[in-house]
Structure 1
Amino acid sequence: MSTMTTLTELTGDYVLDPARTRIGFVARHTMATRVRGQFEEFEGRAHLDGDDASKSSARLTIQAKSIQTHNRQRDEQLRGTFLDVDGHPALTFTSTTVRPAGPSGFTVTGDLTMRGVTKPVTVDVELTGAENDPRGDFRVRLTGSTTINRNDWGVNWNAATTIMVSPKVTLEFDVTVIRRS
C-alpha cells in the first residue's frame, strides 16, 4: 500500500472508478490459443471495514453488450448467442461473505448472475495500493481472479462449442475504488 499504515484507515464506502478499472476474462480456444477480452461498461460500489472484513461488502453490475475482444464477429456472437444481451442485459455480482486471507488479501464469496442464472463464486482479492490522489480523493486498488465453468450459467451455444472453446473461463479484476465523502 502506498501511504496506508493500517487496514483500519480503509474503512468507508466506495464507488468504482471505471476509468482505472479493468474487468476482463480469458478462455482457451481451439486447444492452444487463448481469447482475452474485457467489459467496457460497468458500475459498482463497496463498503470496506478495515477492522472486521466480515462487515465488508461489494456489488458490481456489468453491461453484457459492452463485451470486447477486438474481433467484431466474435463479439457479436458473444453478445447474441452466448450472453443473450437482449434478454439478459446485465451480469451482476453481489458479495455474501468477505474473509481476510493473509496480510493484504481477502476471499470474497458472492452471487454471480448471468443469463438469468445465479450461482455462488469465490474471488481471491489482493489489496495492491491505497493513497490520496492529486485531487484529494482517497483511492484503493485491488486485483483478483476466479475461474468459472460457463456452462453452469448456460453460456453455451451447441455441442461443438465445448470442443472449440473451453468451458473454463478465468475472470480477472483490476479495480480502483474511490471513497465517498
Structure 2
Amino acid sequence: MKSWISKAAVGIAMIVALPILAHADSWQIDPAHTNVEFSVRHMMISNVKGQFQKTSGTVDVNGKDPTSAKIDATIDATSINTRVDKRDAHLKSPAFLDVDKFPTITFKSTKVEVDGPGKWKVTGDLTLHGVTKPVVLEVEGTGAPINDPMGNTRAGASATTKIKRSDFGLTWNQPLEAGGVMVGDEVAISIDVEAIKK
C-alpha cells in the first residue's frame, strides 16, 4: 500500500542525472536502467517495498553549471509493482492512487544547489494524486560519464527523499486492534537513474 508514495518519488528520479549535467546540455532518462522504489511501514512492525516500472524524463543544463539544471520527469502510476497482484490493484484503485483519474506522477525541478563534492539538493514540484507539493531530493553522483559499446554517452546518479502520503490526499488506512494503523504515513523513496546524452 505504500506504492502511492513511490509515485511521488516519482518524477524525482530525474534528479539522479545531475552529475552528467556538467558535461552536456541535454540528457534523456533510460527507462530500462532507471529504478524508482519506495518503502512504507506496514502494521507498525515491518516495511513493504515496491517500485514503479515505467519512468521517463529529461535533464537540460546551460553550459557546465549543474545548478542551472532543469529536470522534468514522469512516472507511469499504472506501472506500480509490489509483487502482490491484489495489493497492486488496491493501490491503483480510488482508495489510493486512483490511476484511472491520475495516471501519471510528475516532478519538475525549481532549484538545484551544490551540497558537497558530487552531491546536490534538488528542490522541485511533485504532482501526485492531483496534488502538487514541493519536495527536496538528496542527490549523489555515481561517477564520470562513460561511452557504451553503441557509442552513447551515459551517466548516472542516485537520490533519496521522504514524503507524507497524507500531504497528497492519500489517507486510506485501517486501525489495528492493538493500536496504531495498517499503513504508515511516511514514505521513503529511493531512485537510481541512468541517462543518455541526446
State the TM-score, normalizing by the size of structure 1: 0.90
Question: What is the aligned partner in structure 1 of residue 112 from structure 2?
Answer: 98
Number of residue pairs aligned between Structure 1 and Structure 2:
175
Gaps of 5+ in 2: 1-18
Q: What is the aligned counterpart of 1:169 among 176, 187, 190?
A: 187
| RMSD of aligned alpha carbons | 1.9
Q: What is the aligned counterpart of 1:46 among 52, 55, 59?
A: 59
Question: What is the aligned partner in structure 2 of residue 122 from structure 1?
Answer: 136
For 2:26, the aligned partner's letter is D
- Name the SS of the counterpart of 1:73 in structure 2: helix
Q: Given the superposition, is the C-alpha separation of residues 8 and 95 from structure 1 closer, same or farther in structure 2, using an over 3 Å criterion?
A: closer
Q: Given the superposition, is the C-alpha separation of residues 158 and 139 from structure 1 closer, same or farther in structure 2, using an over 3 Å criterion?
A: same
Say which is worse superposed, 111-120 or 160-169, in terms of deviation.
Answer: 160-169
Alignment of 1:15-164 (within 5 A): 15-49=28-62, 51-80=64-93, 81-129=95-143, 130-158=145-173, 160=175, 163-164=181-182
Gaps of 5+ in 1: 1-5
Distance 1:146 1:68 in 2: 19
- Name the SS of the counterpart of 1:74 in structure 2: helix
State the TM-score, normalizing by the size of structure 2: 0.83
For 1:78, the aligned partner's letter is L
Contact preservation (8 Å) 1:59, 1:95? yes
Contact preservation (8 Å) 1:10, 1:49? no
Distance 1:66 1:126 in 2: 26
For 1:88, the aligned partner's letter is F
- Structure 1 segments (4+ residues) deviating >3 Å: 6-9, 48-51, 158-162
Distance 1:158 1:58 in 2: 33
